[in-house]
Amino acid sequence: MEIRQLRHFMAVVTEGSFTAAARSELIVQSALSTSIRNLERELGADLFDRTGRRVVLTEAGRALLPQARALLAGAEAAREAVAAVTGLAAGRVAIGTIQTLTCVDLPAELAAFHAEFPGVQVSVRDAPVAELTDALRAGELDLAYLVPDLGQLPEGLTAHATWHEELVLVTAPGHRLAAAGRTLIKDLAEEPFVDFRAGTGLETAVRRLAAHCGLERRITCDVTQIGLLVDLVRAGIGVAFVPREIGERAGLPCVRIRQPEPGRTVVLAGRGPAPRNPAARALLAHLTAAARAAAGPPGGRRPAAG
């Protein structure tokens, strides 16, 4: 049994399909399938039920899951010990992010981190908040950008930096609200909405806002990708609440909401005050330094690094 095979096994569990797992592991699907078959042959049991559209664990697979996590965690700890000695000439760090992250230019920050630590491999996962939270608590992620429910992180997690994002209503060009530039929640009762998938930080924030204001939205379309949501709004299928930067980047009219002004809290979270993984500590230091720089002098605009 090889660590590589266990990592491939966990990738299929996490991604839900061999195709997505191969993509996340940066290998062709045939190589990943062969790796899993060899592992099943060595263990003498099928690990996945492949009869449906989405692969699911068999009883043998469920029995292997906690052991695989423990073995991979042990291997990661060994890598971390070596990385600490070699001054981060090597290492691995896993970070999670919400799909609608706008308060941080994550690609730019990861590029700057890579320039400083080219030997460190960075794994990025975007997923709904609940999945990211579970993965962070299970040790599958070192850090994650989350939108905590009611602004409160679950017990055991630590906030390293916090941002408040303004939400605006985006509309199609020429929409009756586009020229006004602002509106009240109560004036949206007859508007059709495009919504983001349930369980995401954006959907949760918008749902709570609507419930608080007594707005019963008429959802004409719900999506799983922010790019598609923007395109549907542009096509006139409905309006949507998004962070202002997403609307501005898309070139859509951004209508400010008054009474109340909607927003959401984004947090860079970890499992404790400082990650044990040296590569994660280095990435955290880089990201929090960037947050402080973006905040500027006292009274700066958005992030508060802790």
Reported as a single tens digit per residue, the pLDDT across 199-229 is 777 888 888 888 888 888 899 999 988 999 9
Give the predicted TM-score (pTM) of the model. 0.72
- The structure tokens 């998938």 sit at 197
Cα separation of the two ends of the chain: 42
pLDDT tens column, 106-148: 999 999 999 999 989 999 999 888 899 999 998 899 999 998 8
- Residue from 208, 193, 302 nearest 260 by CA: 208
Q: Are 200 and 277 in contact (CB under 8 A)?
A: no
- Residue from 208, 301, 196 nearest 238 by CA: 196
b/e string for 127-143 if b means 16 or more Cβ within 10 A? bbbebbbebbbebbbbb
Instruction: Report residue 62 as tokens.
Output: 């469920």
Instruction: Report residue 88 as tokens.
Output: 């981060």
pLDDT tens column, 278-306: 999 999 999 999 888 877 654 444 454 44
- Residue from 112, 61, 74 nearest 276 by CA: 74
- Domains of the chain (ranges, CATH numbers): 1-85 (1.10.10.10), 165-264 (3.40.190.10)
> Does pLDDT of 32 surpass 90?
yes
Q: Are 190 and 177 in contact (CB under 8 A)?
A: no
Q: Are 271 and 280 in contact (CB under 8 A)?
A: no
Could you give the CA distance from residue 14 to residue 296 in angstroms, rounded to a whole number?
A: 38
pLDDT confidence band for 150 (50 / 70 / 90)? low
